[in-house]
């Protein structure tokens, strides 16, 4: 049995993991490596990609910057989250605000330092990324729709760093990025509907607060319908292996999503809708493996799994 002191220490560790959204960061790390192996640097041997020290540093730097971003976002949203997410907020408050700020500055400093190992331009890129996250958390997120747009752009920025590193400018990469961007933007607007009570209390000017739920639903429906365009393009015109299964499944799920969106009225409904889009995004990460299923099977055979 853990004594009181050790229980408190464990709770603080869980609190820090909750603040930096450790589960999200793990998914982003996996997505970066899979996207590199199967899309951005598919012509290179897997071993060369996995053992690339500069790629590892870029991924690690991204993880630190995103963790710092979650910390500063939690710092600015602490009062709002007490209303919107009371249980999570109580757990997050086990870590003092001063500790959060210290961790924020330490992570960002280390991130720029590590990025400098790759190149001076990489250090500048991540310094700009850090500033973008801060200005979004401090000011831009309060601007209706524009804040959502910036948030979605910041979410896909980590992949841009690797995209530039490998200098792969194929059209298929931009179509994949457009699909992901539109999904994330729709999810950000759903979150605004989900967080209306806290946003209203703290004076946030989001689309559902200023223009109502109906306008928000129209905007989200438009974004979801636009998402179908890159999905169809990827299925029809690009070599994506067996990943067509994922995109057909996504199209069907998004049609159901639109139906549920217009029937939703309460926060619990919006949470479900948010989780549906998050599920599509997470499954998409693992579905990258379907682009070259033979590569996956060969790896399993080498490891004597089959």
Alpha-carbon distance of 228 to 183, in angstroms, equals 10
Give mean pLDDT, residues 93-122: 90
Domains of the chain (ranges; CATH) run: 1-169 (1.10.357.140), 170-306 (1.20.120)
State the average pLDDT for the chain: 87
Predicted pLDDT of residue 110 = 96
Q: Can you give the pTM of this predicted structure?
A: 0.91
Predicted pLDDT of residue 166 = 87
CB 235 within 8 A of CB 244: yes
What digits encode the pLDDT tens for the residues 192-233?
999 888 888 777 888 999 999 999 999 999 999 999 999 999
Alpha-carbon distance of 172 to 142, in angstroms, equals 33
| 236: Cα separation from own chain's centroid | 27
Dihedral sign for Cα 11, 12, 14, 19, please.
positive
Residue 65's alpha-carbon distances to 1, 109, 294, in angstroms, are 36, 9, 34
Predicted pLDDT of residue 245 = 96
What digits encode the pLDDT tens for the residues 239-276?
899 999 999 999 999 999 999 999 998 888 999 999 99
41 secondary structure, DSSP code: S
Q: Which of 112, 117, 149 is nearest to 129 (CA)?
A: 112
According to DSSP H, which parts of 36-85 are helical?
46-50, 53-76, 78-84
What digits encode the pLDDT tens for the residues 20-42?
788 889 999 999 999 998 888 88
Q: Which of 47, 36, 21, 76 is nearest to 158 (CA)?
A: 36
């Amino acid at each position: 049995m853990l004594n009181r002191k050790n229980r408190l220490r464990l709770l603080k560790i869980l609190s820090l993991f909750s603040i930096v959204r450790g589960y999200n960061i793990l998914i982003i790390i996996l997505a970066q490596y899979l996207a590199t192996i199967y899309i951005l640097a598919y012509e290179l041997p897997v071993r060369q990609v996995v053992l690339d020290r500069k790629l590892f540093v870029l991924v690690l730097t991204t993880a630190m910057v995103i963790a710092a971003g979650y910390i500063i976002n939690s710092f600015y949203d602490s009062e709002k989250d007490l209303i919107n997410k009371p249980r999570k907020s109580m757990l997050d408050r086990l870590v003092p605000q001063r500790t959060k700020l210290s961790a924020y500055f330490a992570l960002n400093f280390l991130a720029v330092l590590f990025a400098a190992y790759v190149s001076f331009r990489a250090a500048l890129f991540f310094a700009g990324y850090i500033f973008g996250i801060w200005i979004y958390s401090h000011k831009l997120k309060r601007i209706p729709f524009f804040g959502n747009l910036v948030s979605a752009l910041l979410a896909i920025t980590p992949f841009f760093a690797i995209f530039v590193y490998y200098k792969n400018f194929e059209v298929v990469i931009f179509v994949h990025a457009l699909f992901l961007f539109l999904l994330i933007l729709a999810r950000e607007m759903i979150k605004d509907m989900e967080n209306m009570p806290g946003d209203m209390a703290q004076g946030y000017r989001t689309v559902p607060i200023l223009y109502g739920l109906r306008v928000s639903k129209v905007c989200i429906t438009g974004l979801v319908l636009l998402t179908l365009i890159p999905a169809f393009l990827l299925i029809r015109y690009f070599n994506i292996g067996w990943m067509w299964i994922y995109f057909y499944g996504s199209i069907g799920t998004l049609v159901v999503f639109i139906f549920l969106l217009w029937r939703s009225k309460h926060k619990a409904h919006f949470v479900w809708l948010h989780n549906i889009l998050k599920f599509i995004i997470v499954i998409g990460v693992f579905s990258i493996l379907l682009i070259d299923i033979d590569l996956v099977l060969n790896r399993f055979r080498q490891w004597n799994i089959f």
